[in-house]
Structure 1
Amino acid sequence: MGLGAGSIILIAIVALLLFGPKKLPELGKAAGKTLREFKNATNGLVDDDDDDKEKKNKKTEQQ
């Protein structure tokens, strides 16, 4: 279930009314920064899991 163009426009208008034109760029920057940090953190978790799997495989091969 995706958002159509009308829904996105309605959300933008409501956000503009709630926060005003001066706050929207700041909110956008904060949201982008938060998403970037979340993405980096989840990538770090996936990398840690891959490292753990490699260590287990090496121990299994040695035995």
Structure 2
Amino acid sequence: MDFPHVDTSLCTGCGTCASNCPIDGLWKLVENKAVFTDDRAADCIHCDTCKNNCPAGAITFSS
């Protein structure tokens, strides 16, 4: 199953991924970079909302 991956060289830390994700708490900002909460990965519904809303194009999906 595919999970979100953040290219930290592109991430601006805007938080759009976290604010648009329908599952509360899957995303957090650490040192101004988006981080997908791996220990909650099973809660991800793979809706692509984070990827589709990221203005920097920093999110891709990978297994």
Q: Fold match, TM over 0.5?
A: no
Q: TM-score range by the shorter chain?
A: under 0.3
Greater helix proportion: 1
Structure with a larger share of its residues in strand: 2
Task: Using structure 1 for the length normalisation, give the TM-score.
Answer: 0.23
